[in-house]
Structure 1
Amino acid sequence: MQSVVIVLLGIVGMLFGWFVYSKFIAEKIFKMDDKFVTPAHELQDGVDYVPTNKVVLWGHHFTSVAGAAPIVGPAIAVYWGWVPAVLWVVFGTIFFAGVHDMGALWASARHKGKSMGALSESVIGSRTRSLFMIVVFLVLLMVNAVFGVVIANSFVSQPNAVFPAWSAIVVALVIGQLLRRNMPLIPLCAIGVGVLYATIYMGSSMPLALPSEMFGLADKANWIIILFVYAAIASLLPVWMLLQPRDFINGMQLLVGLVLLYGAVFVSMPDITAPAFNMQTAADTPSIIPLLFVTIACGAVSGFHGIVSSGTSSKQLNKETDGRFVGYLGAVGEGCLALITLVAVSGVALAVSPEEWHEIYSHLGAGSVSAFITGGANLIESGWGISTEVASTLLAVMVVLFAGTTMDSGVRLQRYIIQEWGDIYKISALKNGVVATLVAVGCCLLLAFGAGGASGSGGMIIWPLFGSTNQILASLTLLVISVMLIKAGRPAKFTLIPMVFVLIMAFFAGVIKLAEYYQQGNWLLVVLDAIVLIVSVLVMLEAWSVIAKHKREKQQGSEQA
């Protein structure tokens, strides 16, 4: 019964955020205008800049920012107790993530679809642009390299997910062509989701796997190479051909999954067995403050969302006012996924008694995706009578498809960054889409196999930096938006307050990790962590200088008048 109360309170909070708070921010603070000509129309090229129906764009945006993170983060952070995790997910979604994502979309659209790193030059200064783009590139490198490993691991451990995951690409290509021929969206969506779920049912009894060794590499390493070859090709295709329909279908698939999970809660009304506040943590468990706030990123606030908002989504925005639907509602979708993840890993669906729950969550990092799949499958079976085998395949495919769509968008975004560098530093070769894609994929594979050897797991080496780096990036994005608002003479407290909070937590976490890496003698992480911390300080100083200068000029203008 406790789970129903959690779900109801969370839904009420999300509804307040969507109907009240987001409307206020969009209309009174960002002042979104239907008459503004978006980059999708001004720079339309049929490849990256394409005016898109807001529902289809929401599907792309939502699945691109979601990935596996709103599942992984909450499923780990529940170790500290379900109360702090639920509070951060709900309040983080309403006042942090929604404003951040919608704000990045608005800011980029107002600067011809430039990424947050590139547009920071006109908002703050050229030095800020260079520093900002370093952090953006590092985050994309981490996400792409690691999600390749995550998907490969899933294909090896869950061969039932291979057939439906690749079938989704074929379905998306067909639907993309039909949409291009003005076929109605709703019937195509229904057919696409129906076919996807048929392949999930087939996949549950038809596992597919690569040979354990091929070309001198293990199956996981071969999957990583195949995935990056696919991502390179996908990133060069027009967005309407694969990216949009694939992400939209995945978004609809997630909605079905959320209906199944939330519906199961109301039908079976499971109790919570996890502690509200965990007092039995292991001796080496880090402090909940600040680590909770970087462990739950997607589902509360995430810098990666700003990259997507200002990278692919802003180039497809049909009307500026669609930014509220795409950006804020995308964040609400993530919050809903994070909330139901917490219920799945906290209740009797995962562990019948508190003692069993503590056995599963014996230390920080235990549980994670496997706990979500197990708990979610048991929850669906108890509520709907669907077998755990089919439910487990469904949830495993959900995780794989989310990670895959994030990887698709991530490689495309990395290409954008490299092309922007080519434009900024007058390197004509890097402006070429194919060359930029090869450089992006090459960097990811170099990290994967150069640092990880034949296993291809090199991306996992720098992954521990993701939490703090990602949240520092979120604070820098909020800073750029705040400077834009200050220069426009609008209230900036709605972005400055979240920015200060996230920066303090992320910077504090980064310092703690820096000391930890130093003690371990992990010099690569020491150097990278130090770079991120120094860059964030320099960007803040640059921004403060711009704000102070703006205030002086405004005051002088008032005195002269």
Structure 2
Amino acid sequence: MISFIVSIIILIVAYFVYGNIIERIFGIEKDRETPAISQRDDVDYMPLPTWKVFLIQFLNIAGLGPIFGAIAGAMYGPSAFLWIVFGCIFGGAVHDYFSGMLSLRHNGLSISEVVGIYLGPYIKQFMRLFTVVLLIFVGTVFLVGPAKIIDGMTDSMLGIGVWVSIILVYYVLSTLLPIDKLISKLYPVFGAAMLFMALGLLLVLFVGDYQIPEVIPANLVNMKHNAENTPIFPMLFVTIACGAISGFHATQSPLMSRCIHNETEGKKVFFGAMITEGIVALIWAAAAMTFFGNVDGLNVEMAANGNNAAWAANEISLNMLGKFGGVLAVLGIVAAPITSGDTAFRSARLILADTFKYDQKSILKRLYISIPLFVIAFVLTKVDFAIIWRYFAWSNQTLAMIVLWAITAFLIYTKKAYLVTFIPAVFMTMVCSLYILIAPEGFQLNNTISYVLSVIVTIIISVFFLLYVKRNKPKSE
């Protein structure tokens, strides 16, 4: 329990201490007009209250990540606490803050365009395709997944197809309508529900007879039953993404960079939402490690239920929070993925609009871009692309890696303290290269060979990056 409490305290302190350091490094300008004001179109660009922007950002980046990812990561043991804490502070919060603020500085541009400014046109073209494909996959999975859950809860009264159609209609509306019409009204409610559920679990952990394992040397071992095939490094660092660092966040931050009315709000919205998500992930990881008795019990139950994190989350909610927990579980397990799916499509629309410089004031122009996205997503619901989805975890962290390199380039070009992102970028490069070399969905190479190759790949990419930024400068700051 002591390690768990200390972990939460560290995250809170980090917001005020390291958050202020990162804010100073970026160099906010209080009197600088934000895109919400200068580019206002009352569709995507419009100032919203800070508390509302924070809750929307939190739900955008959270979804099921800090719940399902934390439960799966808890199977490794207390090592998960360390990754959540330090990954969140030095990786995720920094990644989210800079990606959001750089978008804000560049008139609310999508992350692919921002990356292109600092890493060049070739990377920009790659990022445009990479992020749109990634977002379509996210939207599709979060279209089918909730439909299956609801269908199961209702004893297949209507059928999965009907629920897919209903959710798709909502996705169309949330993608096309001005952000203050639907998203800004629903998200604060769902965001507050997710936070309330996490706080409820936290209270039960404190007052109940639960023994949370401590972060001590004896516990910092791989506690998964198939430890040899799932080494902590890099598997844990990809399993827990949203609670530590996630590239998907960089696709969502531009949505809120278009709604912030002053640069001083950036730390609260971007850095603060990530720290909050880290705390939520800690709570769910702790609950998973204790509810089933211990980490070994968690592994046994997960194996018996097909490693289904949704099942575990539902069991934890219903038993630790009672009937009211069941209601919150529905909000968390059903509403959370839906609220990630809709903004995935909205982000894809904005990326394509930025790519083709297509104005989005007219709803017809929004339809021209959105219809193909939904047609593709609907077709994908008919295809079993589970194998393709297995690459999402790696793709997600690869996106975070690229964004970290782009932020580092910005810091170097502007003569700022670039080590705050250079070190995380190198680390995530190592994680991503090692994962694809060693993972079942990757090359499945021998562990020793994979580690050696990943070091070589990381060194090559790091050297190439330093040579690139030495020779090039962006067209605009």
Give TM-score, length-normalised by structure 2.
Answer: 0.88
Question: Which residue, out of 200, 216, 219, partners 1:260?
Answer: 200
Q: Report the Cα offset of residue 222 of structure 1.
A: 2.8
Q: Report the Cα offset of residue 362 of structure 1.
A: 3.4
Looking at structure 1, the residues matched to 295 and 423 of structure 2 have their Cα atoms a distance apart, in angstroms, of 38
What SS does the corresponding residue of 1:48 show, helix, strand or coil?
coil
CA displacement, residues 469-501 of structure 1 (integer Å, 9 cap, x when unaligned): 101100111111111111111110001111111
The worse-fitting range, judged by mean Cα deviation, of 121-130 and 406-415 is: 121-130
CA displacement, residues 448-467 of structure 1 (integer Å, 9 cap, x when unaligned): 22x33xxxxx4x34210111
Q: Report the Cα offset of residue 504 of structure 1.
A: 1.1
Task: Establish whether residue 360 from structure 1 lines up as the match of residue 281 from structure 2.
Answer: no
Q: Report the Cα offset of residue 263 of structure 1.
A: 1.3
- The residue that corresponds to 1:325 in the other structure is 268
The worse-fitting range, judged by mean Cα deviation, of 283-292 and 326-335 is: 283-292
Looking at structure 2, the residues matched to 302 and 111 of structure 1 have their Cα atoms a distance apart, in angstroms, of 22
Q: Report the Cα offset of residue 93 of structure 1.
A: 1.1
Looking at structure 2, the residues matched to 110 and 222 of structure 1 have their Cα atoms a distance apart, in angstroms, of 43
- The residue that corresponds to 1:376 in the other structure is 317
- The residue that corresponds to 2:141 in the other structure is 146
Name the larger-Rg structure.
1
On the 8 A contact 2:143/2:168 being kept in 1, the answer is: yes
- The residue that corresponds to 1:214 in the other structure is none
- The count of aligned residue pairs is 456
**Distance verdict in 2 for CA 1:548–1:156, change over 3 Å:** same
Q: In the TM superposition, what are the counterparts of 1:85-484 in structure 2 within 5 Å?
A: 85-159=80-154, 210-211=157-158, 219-272=159-212, 277-279=221-223, 281-282=225-226, 285-310=229-254, 312-347=255-290, 350-352=291-293, 356-362=297-303, 366-380=307-321, 388-423=322-357, 432-449=365-382, 451-452=383-384, 458=385, 460-484=386-410
Q: Report the Cα offset of residue 375 of structure 1.
A: 2.1
- The residue that corresponds to 1:505 in the other structure is 431
CA displacement, residues 84-132 of structure 1 (integer Å, 9 cap, x when unaligned): 1111011111111111101101110111110110122322321121012
- The residue that corresponds to 2:413 in the other structure is 487
CA displacement, residues 32-78 of structure 1 (integer Å, 9 cap, x when unaligned): 11111111111000010011111110011000110111111111122
Looking at structure 2, the residues matched to 517 and 119 of structure 1 have their Cα atoms a distance apart, in angstroms, of 29
Task: Establish whether residue 12 from structure 1 lines up as the match of residue 9 from structure 2.
Answer: yes
**Distance verdict in 2 for CA 1:278–1:293, change over 3 Å:** closer
Q: Report the Cα offset of residue 229 of structure 1.
A: 2.3
On the 8 A contact 2:405/2:425 being kept in 1, the answer is: yes
Q: Report the Cα offset of residue 369 of structure 1.
A: 2.2
Task: Establish whether residue 41 from structure 1 lines up as the match of residue 37 from structure 2.
Answer: yes
Q: Which residue identity is paired with 2:278? A: G
Q: Report the Cα offset of residue 246 of structure 1.
A: 1.2
**Distance verdict in 2 for CA 1:279–1:73, change over 3 Å:** closer
Q: Which residue identity is paired with 2:261? A: N
Q: Report the Cα offset of residue 537 of structure 1.
A: 11
On the 8 A contact 2:198/2:284 being kept in 1, the answer is: no
Q: Which residue identity is paired with 2:120? A: G
Looking at structure 1, the residues matched to 397 and 286 of structure 2 have their Cα atoms a distance apart, in angstroms, of 24
What SS does the corresponding residue of 1:432 show, helix, strand or coil?
helix
**Distance verdict in 2 for CA 1:291–1:482, change over 3 Å:** same
On the 8 A contact 1:471/1:502 being kept in 2, the answer is: yes
On the 8 A contact 1:76/1:364 being kept in 2, the answer is: no
Looking at structure 1, the residues matched to 232 and 172 of structure 2 have their Cα atoms a distance apart, in angstroms, of 39
Looking at structure 2, the residues matched to 539 and 48 of structure 1 have their Cα atoms a distance apart, in angstroms, of 36
On the 8 A contact 1:344/1:372 being kept in 2, the answer is: no
On the 8 A contact 1:30/1:103 being kept in 2, the answer is: yes
Q: Which residue identity is paired with 1:112? A: N
Q: Report the Cα offset of residue 255 of structure 1.
A: 2.4
What SS does the corresponding residue of 1:271 show, helix, strand or coil?
coil
Looking at structure 1, the residues matched to 190 and 93 of structure 2 have their Cα atoms a distance apart, in angstroms, of 21
Looking at structure 2, the residues matched to 430 and 487 of structure 1 have their Cα atoms a distance apart, in angstroms, of 39
Gaps of 5+ in 1: 160-207, 212-218, 381-387, 453-457, 520-535, 552-561
**Distance verdict in 2 for CA 1:443–1:417, change over 3 Å:** farther
Looking at structure 1, the residues matched to 119 and 363 of structure 2 have their Cα atoms a distance apart, in angstroms, of 25
Looking at structure 2, the residues matched to 537 and 432 of structure 1 have their Cα atoms a distance apart, in angstroms, of 45
Looking at structure 2, the residues matched to 7 and 317 of structure 1 have their Cα atoms a distance apart, in angstroms, of 33
Q: In the TM superposition, what are the counterparts of 1:46-61 in structure 2 within 5 Å?
A: 46-61=42-57
Q: Which residue identity is paired with 1:345? A: A
Q: Report the Cα offset of residue 142 of structure 1.
A: 2.0
Looking at structure 2, the residues matched to 431 and 494 of structure 1 have their Cα atoms a distance apart, in angstroms, of 43
Looking at structure 1, the residues matched to 246 and 122 of structure 2 have their Cα atoms a distance apart, in angstroms, of 23
On the 8 A contact 1:41/1:50 being kept in 2, the answer is: yes
Looking at structure 2, the residues matched to 345 and 494 of structure 1 have their Cα atoms a distance apart, in angstroms, of 32
Looking at structure 2, the residues matched to 119 and 541 of structure 1 have their Cα atoms a distance apart, in angstroms, of 22
On the 8 A contact 2:390/2:441 being kept in 1, the answer is: no
What SS does the corresponding residue of 2:263 show, helix, strand or coil?
coil
On the 8 A contact 1:75/1:369 being kept in 2, the answer is: no
- The residue that corresponds to 1:198 in the other structure is none
Q: Report the Cα offset of residue 399 of structure 1.
A: 2.1
Looking at structure 1, the residues matched to 143 and 125 of structure 2 have their Cα atoms a distance apart, in angstroms, of 27
Q: Report the Cα offset of residue 305 of structure 1.
A: 0.4
Gaps of 5+ in 2: 445-457
